[in-house]
Chains A and B, each alone.
Chain A
Amino acid sequence: MQLRYEVSGDDLSLAGKASTEVKRALGRLGVDTGAIKRTAVSMYEAEMNMVIHGGGGIATAELSPDRIVITMEDKGPGIPDLELAMQEGYSTAPEWIRELGFGAGMGLPNIKRNADDLHIESIVGKGTRVTITIDFSGTGGSRP
């Protein structure tokens, strides 16, 4: 089954809502707690990226009994150098975002650590699509 959320790019106070809803759904299913945690962390980071860097977009979660596939799609500026963006500590976040406690450049590496599969498609000027797979019996540590 599919869950779908519109994620606003204007209101930082609403950011994280889609992740909370997905966590709720996983709790209703009684999914392995380790998988819930890995989903929480990776979806939250991707959602924040979509809000902060991508100007908001659409989050979908495709749920099945053994896995969840999360897609975050925005029409933002895109990522010019993916390899660089994946590096720990690399960030283009502006000063005011850093003051809010974001912008450590740890989001994407964190997703990679927690997801069983991570796939990023990005076109500069067009947008970014991040696809995250969590296998409920997996351990994370995807190699994109």
Chain B
Amino acid sequence: MNGPSFHSVTLDPAKCKGCTTCVRFCPTEAIRVRKGRAAIIDDRCIDCGECIRTCPNNAKKAVSDPLTVLESYAVRVAIPAPTLYGQFDERFSVDRILGGLLELGFTDVFEVARGAELVADATAAWIASAGEAGSGGQWISSACPAVVKLLQVRFPSLLDRLVPVMSPMEAAARIVKERLYPGRTDVGVFFISPCAGKVTVSRFPQGLTESAVDGVIAIKDIYVPLLNALPGVHERPLGHAGARGVAWAHIDGESDAVGVPKAISVSGIADVIGVFEALENGKMKHVAFIEALACPAGCVGGPLTVENPYIARARIRAIERKAAELPPREARFEGAAINLGLEVPVPARSGLRLAPDVFKAMIMLEEAEIIHESLPGLDCGSCGAPTCRAFAEDVARGDAMLTDCIFKLRENVRKLAEELINMERWQPPGLDKD
């Protein structure tokens, strides 16, 4: 029920100093320091990359596929996230960047930005039809895998508000397989990714039985070879996406593309959580669509990028302005797109539960409450847990020992010392003469 135990986000034990910085920043309390090293609790990790961003020792990394994954396919199609375009300066146009990918071993390119435009249409259609059917209310975008997992782990009561439309990456991959190369089995589709979460969902998809993506290559891994290839590229009209799709690289792009007037867009995991808390409390009644992206400023702030998110966003905006002036290009495929609906429900994940059984969980919660009362409340992190409360829960669950808290340890040592002194005063009866 808790899905994969594979996560893109992992630890490099050689670099980790056990400093607990990441422990405090993790939005689902999924990290503990044990034996001087950070350990990720799989059931809770949402692949948001917050630990990668905050680790002072670069000990957290996102696993993605090496370029050698291309070798096993005759047709190798790159599907770049629009974020890729913002990694290079203004000298390099979208057409040139797409051309550069063809120099690196790909045989074709199809923009995720094009998929995003179709996802925007499908999302708008879903919200309109749900409204007509009387199930209006607030709909949450399912484009960001970290946000979807955040709902699964921390806000399961909001899962029924997810727009049941697949992500632009999946949409693009399916169009490649079903429309550009139908019926072929030698086609590999590779996402060029700013995102750690997409690596995980390409193997264990959300709301789909299978992913059409065959590999995920990190922007930071392809950056240097691509940069070296760009000056020699002969520019051809390879781009087919408009400004509306390219804008999905940054916050606001998606809600503008969907075009629902009462939308709110939020980026950065802490603020996303704030909005979901408010939503769960019944606030924001007037909102119809919520674009939520885990990374600061949106995917341009993804952990697999190279460029500063705000510089990348400014460049993407410039590309959007340019694209808006150009006439639209000929479509890559005829007729209607593919069905973009999700195939299976996105279930809750039980990572934060104390026990599978509510009665057992109740006993543990009560115990945790009593333990918490006895702790200093400093949230100092030296026990390896993010807060005293989280530590109390760990102890109640049997995952930690009370003396892992240095204040508790000191208390014990003091008691022991007092006992020793008392013992030292004690005289054997034979010697005890007054």
B358 CB–A CB distance under 8 Å: yes
**Which single residue of chain A is at the shortest CB-CB distance from B370?**
A1
A14 CB–B CB distance under 8 Å: no
Given known contacts A36-B157, A40-B157, A65-B358, is B280 in contact with A29 (CB within 8 Å)?
Answer: no
Q: Are B365 and A37 in contact (CB under 8 A)?
A: no
Among listed A20-28, A49-57, A116-124, interface-contacting one: A20-28
Contacts of A45 in B (CB 8 A): 282
Contacts of A29 in B (CB 8 A): 353-354, 358, 361-362, 365
Contacts of B353 in A (CB 8 A): 27-30
Contacts of A40 in B (CB 8 A): 157, 280-282
Q: Are A110 and B352 in contact (CB under 8 A)?
A: no
A127 CB–B CB distance under 8 Å: no
Given known contacts A1-B365, A20-B277, A37-B157, is B282 in contact with A30 (CB within 8 Å)?
Answer: no
**Which single residue of chain A is at the shortest CB-CB distance from B361?**
A29
Whole-angstrom distance between the alpha carbons of A30 and B368 in the complex? 16
Q: Are A19 and B359 in contact (CB under 8 A)?
A: no
Q: How big is chain B's contact interface, by range?
A: 20 to 34
Contacts of B282 in A (CB 8 A): 40-41, 44-45, 110
Q: Are B280 and A30 in contact (CB under 8 A)?
A: no
Contacts of B281 in A (CB 8 A): 16, 19, 40-41, 44
Whole-angstrom distance between the alpha carbons of A41 and B157 in the complex? 12
Number of A interface residues, CB 8 Å? 24
Q: Which of B352, B364, B366 contacts A27 (CB 8 A)?
A: B352
Whole-angstrom distance between the alpha carbons of A33 and B350 in the complex? 12
B154 CB–A CB distance under 8 Å: yes
Q: Are A27 and B154 in contact (CB under 8 A)?
A: yes
Contacts of A16 in B (CB 8 A): 277, 281
**Which single residue of chain A is at the shortest CB-CB distance from B368?**
A28
Contacts of B47 in A (CB 8 A): none
**Which single residue of chain A is at the shortest CB-CB distance from B358?**
A65
Given known contacts A28-B361, A33-B159, A65-B359, is B354 in contact with A23 (CB within 8 Å)?
Answer: no
B393 CB–A CB distance under 8 Å: yes
Whole-angstrom distance between the alpha carbons of A23 and B133 in the complex? 31
Q: Pick 11 A–B contacts, CB within 8 A, sort by A.
A: A23-B277, A25-B365, A28-B352, A29-B358, A29-B362, A30-B354, A30-B358, A30-B361, A33-B156, A36-B157, A36-B280
Which 3 residue pairs are nearest across A and B when measured between Cβ atoms? A44-B281, A41-B282, A33-B157
